[in-house]
Amino acid sequence: MVLKKLIKIILFLIIAFPFGIKAEEIDSYDNWYTCDFREKARLISIASNLALSTDYFELNNMVEFSITISNPHPDIYIVDTIKNENYYYDPSSANPAEIKITGYKDGITVKYEIHSVDIVCMENLIMSKYVTLPPYNQYYKDPICKDIPDFSLCKKWVKVNYTYDEFIEQVEKYKAGLEEETQTPEDDYDGYFNELIEIFIKYYIYILPIIIILGIVGINILKRRKEFRF
C-alpha cells in the first residue's frame, strides 16, 4: 500500500510540475544553459575595457619585451596565443588591476583571445586584441653610427638582416656617398678653372691668334662708335 501511494505521488508531481512553471521562469531557466546576446554584450564591454601597453629590457645588444594588460576582470580570462598560456584576474596579486607578461622577442605580433570564465559562454570568442612589437637593430650603438644616427641601418627600431661585416660595408658605402655630396661649389669652381688652364696651355698656339684677332676687331668697333657719336 505504501509503495502504491508513493508511486501515485511521484506520477502526480511529474504531471503537475510543468504546469506550475511560469513563462518568465522558463526563459530564465533557458538562459542558464545558453550564452544569450545580453551576456555576450556585457562580456564584450568588459573585454573592450582591457588596455595593453609594452615595455622592454635591453642588455648585451639584445632586447626582451613585456606586455601589461590593464583592467582584467573576474568574468573573463585571456589566452596568449604565442605562449599558449591562459591568464586570469587574480585578486590576491600585488596589483590586481594589471597582468604583466614578460619574455617576448622583438619583431613579432602577439595575439590575445578573450573568453568568458562561465562554462556556458567559454567556447565563444569574445574578442581578440593584438600587440605588434618592433624589430630591434643590434648594431645601432656601433661607433660607426655615431655621426649618422638618421641613417636607416643606424636606427634602433629597424630590421637589419646583415651580418656585422655586411653592416659595416653598407655603412661605409653610405658615408662615402655623403662625402661626394658634400663637395663645396668652390671646389667645383677650382676644378673647372684648372681644366681651362690646361686646355689653354695645350692649345695656346691655336687659341692665342684667335684671341688677338677678336681683340683687334673689338678695339676698331669701339673707335668707330666713338667717332660716330662726336
- The residue among 4 and 195 whose pLDDT is bigger is 195
If pLDDT is split at 50, 70 and 90, which confidence band does 71 have?
Answer: very high
Query: How are strands ordered across the β-sheet holding 127-132?
Result: 85-88, 76-80, 109-116, 127-132
The answer for residues whose C-beta is within 8 angstroms of residue 51's C-beta and 6 or more apart is: 69, 70, 71
**Three-class SS state of 81:** coil
Q: Which fold has domain 41-132?
A: Immunoglobulin-like (2.60.40)
Q: Where in the chain is the domain with CATH 2.60.40?
A: 41-132
pLDDT surpassing 90 at residue 198: no
pLDDT surpassing 60 at residue 11: no
Task: Give the count of beta carbons closer than 10 Å to the beta carbon of residue 228.
Answer: 7
Q: Which amino acid is at 83?
A: K
Q: Which amino acid is at 216?
A: I
Cell matching residue 178: 655623403
For residue 79, count CB atoms less than 10 angstroms from its CB and return exposed for 0-12, middle for 13-18, buried for 19 or more. middle
Question: In b/e form, how buried is each residue of 103-141, taking b as 16+ CB within 10 angstroms?
Answer: ebebeeebebbbbbeeeebeeeebeebebebbebbbbbe
pTM above 0.75, yes or no: no
> Chain-wide mean pLDDT for the chain?
82
Residue 227's alpha-carbon distances to 70, 110, 230, in angstroms, are: 99, 94, 5
Start-to-end CA span in the chain (Å): 161
Confirm if 106 and 134 have CB atoms less than 8 A apart: yes
Which residue is associated with the grid cell 650603438?
141
- The residue among 166 and 8 whose pLDDT is bigger is 166
